[in-house]
Amino acid sequence: MQITIDQAKLALDSLEVPVGCVIVEGGSVIAAGKNWTNEPRNATRHAEMEALDVLKEQWQRTGFSAAEVAEKFSAYSLCVACEPCLMCAAALSIIGIEVVYYGCANGKFGGCGSILALHSSTSPRHAFLNLLLLLISYLLSSTL
């Protein structure tokens, strides 16, 4: 978790929301990321997505098949400073990361229990549908 905190500090130093993330395999950190949304003006560049992109770049060079990637994801755990948001929780569920540790709850956007429990759905499709229903409900309530 210390590397996660270190990544969060780097994000804060860059005037980002201080969230850091690491992906772990067998006790070793294999990828790290930090929030990076302000500079690129891209709200999807959360710490989790940045860490996943590190793996994606490694795997593209290596040439892993889709089956190999799926097998690898199921063996990884992810540590993040703050509960993954709905977007990140849905993505983690879809790609098959089953173990997520986080330092604090996210009462506004949390996707691992604070707002929705996307991590506990039995299928990625179910998680996606939950997120879609939440977004539709929000849009309907904000237009009335």
Q: Is 71 a catalytic residue?
A: no
Structure tokens at 20: 């850091």
- Cβ-Cβ contacts under 8 Å for 105 (sequence gap 6 or more): 82, 83, 113, 114
Q: Which of 16, 25, 48, 98 is catalytic?
A: 48
- Cβ-Cβ contacts under 8 Å for 131 (sequence gap 6 or more): 86, 87, 90, 111, 116, 118
In angstroms, the CA 116 to CA 30 distance is: 28
Q: Which of the residues are catalytic?
A: 48
